[in-house]
Each structure stands twice: as structure tokens, then as C-alpha cells.
Homo-oligomer: A and B are copies of this chain.
């Protein structure tokens, strides 16, 4: 049963209307600003990639509501285990844009979370963050902290063994971990119907005696509601957010090879930003001018951020050797000196 609060046209469902009443104005506005900023940011990243300013990039357009809505329900003390496609989550919880840009520019410094954050560096090998999130949730439970760990992953990730092992562990030890799947219909080019014979991701929870929700992932209110509720359970929950990336898998991908324009058009009509804007405008929360003005501010911030990152000076030799071990071992010092000697004579540069 798909949970839906906000229809593609911007009208609230009955459940949506009740939920809307429970929200403070600040929350309503935050969600709107976040959705808009995340989209701006994401589009900028795609542009910068084309301009050669950053490396290969994984766009999130179309998935903003799933990311913003879920992340907005989190606490600062929650553990967040993102995949590589969670720029909207990062933005929502307050990871500096410079960090995100740095990461996609191949600068390891972008992986360092700000002090106090439990935002784990993006995970590239599919599904591997799930058992780790289980462990982090376990640590919280053992310390009696009230908080959760959330693991973000895609529909393709459900086919990996780590998905299964993580859900099994979480349910055996009854740990406060949310498994948040953005089912965007594809693992690169492979549609979910070829990924799995079960029709939904959510129904897999039963195999672990685990609660599950299936939610319209393009509906920021429903996602926010569901994650808030799930978070409160302090138990393992599987959440499937049905969504779609309207862009390519990454900037190196050509999505027209494996899906039709028609399909994309259907999903463009279910745009997560449009519907929430319609709601906010019709509720008189903001007018178009205000929105455009705010966009200008965000754009300025983004441009500052990329300039910041472009100033990058490679930290050599330390960037290669520091933090591999807690101290640089004797044997590695020779290698460190070698790099230093090349950096000094200028034969290594950026």
C-alpha cells in the first residue's frame, strides 16, 4: 500500500491534509527551500561536470523529495550512511556544499564530516553500507542513546548479499536502523522488474519479520511523515520510496539507451518539486518573487563554493599517507619521502 500525501498536481490527499495540519510553518518552508536548493545544486553539479570543473557525477533530479523528506526527519545525532547519490541528504542535514563538491572532484577532504556529524563518507560498492549502519545502530542501542542509523540505497542494492545479511542482523538484534531504499526503477540500465521477481522492495521485509512502508518518493510530505514515524519506533524498518531519476545514472551514462522518452515524460509529470511548490503557493506560504530571489542567493553560495574548491592545492605527500594508519609506519616513510622528492622537484603537480 503506497503512502501518498500530495498528488502530482499539488493537491493533498485526506491523509496529507491531516499531516499538513500538524506541521509548523517553519517546517513547511524549510522543505520548500531545501527542495529548490537541492535541485539548483544538482543542476549546477551537472553543469560543472560538463565544464570539466568536477569529475563524473551522479545526478539526483527527480529524487529530491525522497532525499529531502527523509533527511529532514533526522536528528543531528543519527548515523547517516549515504550511497553516492545522496547530495540531497547531505544538503538537508547541513553538510557544506564545498565538501560535496570536493568529493566529486576527487578530493578526499570532502569526505570529512563537520565536527559532531555522523555523516559517513558516500559508499560506492553497492549495499556495503547496510551492515555498517546496522553496527552503528547497535552501538547506539548498547549505549542507550535514542537515535537511529539510516542507510540509503537503491533498488539495485537489494540484490546484493549485504542487503540480506544486514536486514537479518538488524532484525535478530532488533536494532534502531532504517533501511531507506530509493526505488528509482533502475540500477543503471537494469529495470527493477529484471532485478527481482518480487514486485516491491517493501514486501521483502516480511522475510525478516520487519516493519516496512512503501511511500511515494516524489511526495516530500509522505516521505517526511513515514521516516519520522519509522524513526520513532527505534526498531528496524524497511522503507521503499518509489521515485525516478529523470536524468542519467551518472554524467557518463546515456539513459536514452535503455528507457523511453515517454517513460521519462510520465515521471516529469510527477515532479516532486512542482507539486510541493503548487501546494505552498496555493497555501500562500511564499510568492514566486520570493522564490526567485532566494534562488539567486543560493546560486551565489554555490558559485562561491565551487571557487573555493577550485583553489585546491594537493596536500602532498601527506594526502596520500596520512590516516591510512593512525601513525605512518616506518616502511611507509620511505615512500612518503619519495613522493616528497617528486613534489619538491616539481614533477608532481596538480
Within 8 A of B (CB), among A10-68: none
Task: Please tell me if A160 contacts chain B, counting CB pairs below 8 Å.
Answer: yes
Q: How far is the CA of A174 from the CA of B161 in the complex (A)?
A: 19
Give how many A residues have a beta carbon under 8 Å from the other chain's beta carbons: 24
Please name all residues of chain B whose beta carbon is closer than 8 Å to the beta carbon of A84 when the two chains form the complex.
none
Q: Flag whether A203 is at the interface (Cβ < 8 A).
A: yes
Inter-chain contact B209/A207, CB cutoff 8 Å: no
Within 8 A of B (CB), among A192-222: 194-199, 203-204, 206-210
Verify if A75 is at the interface (C-beta below 8 Å from B).
no
A168 at the B interface (CB under 8 A): yes
Min CB gap A211→B, angstroms: 12
A321 on the B face (CB < 8 A): no
Chain A positions 172 through 195: 1 when the CB is less than 8 Å from some CB of chain B, otherwise 0: 101000000000000000000011
Assess the B206–A194 pair: CB atoms within 8 A.
no
Q: Which of A133-171 contact B (CB under 8 A)?
A: 159-165, 168, 171
> Which residues of the partner chain B approach A203 to less than 8 Å between Cβ atoms?
206-207
Q: Which residue of B lies closest to A205 (CB)?
A: B207
State whether B195 touches A199 (Cβ < 8 A): no
**Cα(A163)–Cα(B161), bound, Å:** 8
Could you tell me if A194 and B165 are in contact, using CB atoms closer than 8 angstroms?
no
Taken together as a complex, chains A and B put the C-alpha atoms of A174 and B197 apart, in Å, by: 9
Cβ-defined partner of A197 (8 Å) among B160, B165, B209: B209
17 cross-chain CB contacts under 8 A = A159-B165, A159-B168, A160-B161, A163-B164, A168-B197, A171-B196, A171-B198, A174-B197, A197-B208, A197-B209, A197-B210, A198-B207, A198-B208, A199-B209, A203-B206, A203-B207, A206-B207
